Amino acid sequence: MIHHYHVTSEREESFSLDFEIQADATFAQLMDLLIDTLDFDPASIGMFYICDDRWQNVGQVAHSDFFESDAGNQYEIEKTRLEDLLDDTGARMRYLYDFFEDRYLRLQLVKIHSGSLSSPQIISLEGKKPRQTDPDEFVGGLGGDVLSIDTPLGMMDEAFDEELFNADELSSDSFSIVDEE
């Protein structure tokens, strides 16, 4: 069986992607297709959320190291096949491709038909591709220069804008000190 998916972006309104993939492909193979097609960083962590008809999460497909305790049903990305969780036309999922900015792609299964493919097939790709946040760009955007593991501790204070943290706004009422014996 072959699954035909339509993909849109929550951030890039002009973007759309249609592709076909074997129904017995794993979610890891699907993620590889998305990474290759959209020029995402293959070292970045991604995960899928199985959704109901209102795009609410009802399950999670990820590497077991990244399971969230409140995500509902959890499935391993390397072992779970598309057909195991998505067997009806209209089935929905979201792919979290950017943890820093909480960016998702929406995927909807629009057609299931018989046949086989030797590899996934891109049917159409339109609009501006969504982009992932570069971790260095994200840290640098917090108010200072890009930080690295080699940045001296004194320079880290200088790298952040003082407006992000105001010690005068802290109240001792919200803290408690526990004496350990």
Query: Could you give the strand order of the β-sheet that contains 103-113, starting from the edge strand earlier in sequence?
Result: 73-76, 57-62, 47-51, 92-98, 103-113, 2-9, 16-22, 121-126
Tens-place pLDDT, residues 79-107: 999 999 999 999 999 999 988 888 999 99
Could you tell me the residue ranges of all domains in the chain?
2-132, 134-163
| pLDDT at residue 70, as a whole number | 58
Taking 50 as the threshold, does the pLDDT of residue 177 lie above it? yes
User: Is the pLDDT assigned to residue 137 strictly greater than 70?
Assistant: no
Give the helix/strand (H/E) hosting 108.
Answer: strand 103-113
Q: Which of 133, 117, 103 lies closest to 15 in space, CA to CA?
A: 103
pTM: 0.72
181 vs 62, more confident: 62
pLDDT in tens, 68-84: 665 558 899 999 999 99
What are the φ/ψ torsions at residue 42 (nearest 5 degrees)? -65, -20
Residue 165, helix vs strand vs coil: coil
Among 114-118, 129-133, 177-181, which stretch is predicted with the lowest mean pLDDT? 177-181
Higher pLDDT, 150 or 119: 119
pLDDT tens digits for 29-47?
999 999 999 999 888 888 9
Q: Take residue 132 and report the two structure tokens written for it.
A: 């992932």
What CA–CA distance (Å, rounded) separates 58 from 82? 15
Query: Which CATH number does the domain 2-132 belong to among 3.30.200.20, 1.20.1250.20, 3.10.290.30, 3.10.20.30?
Result: 3.10.290.30
**Is the predicted pLDDT of residue 52 greater than 50, yes or no?**
yes
Taking residues 126-151, report their average pLDDT.
Answer: 62
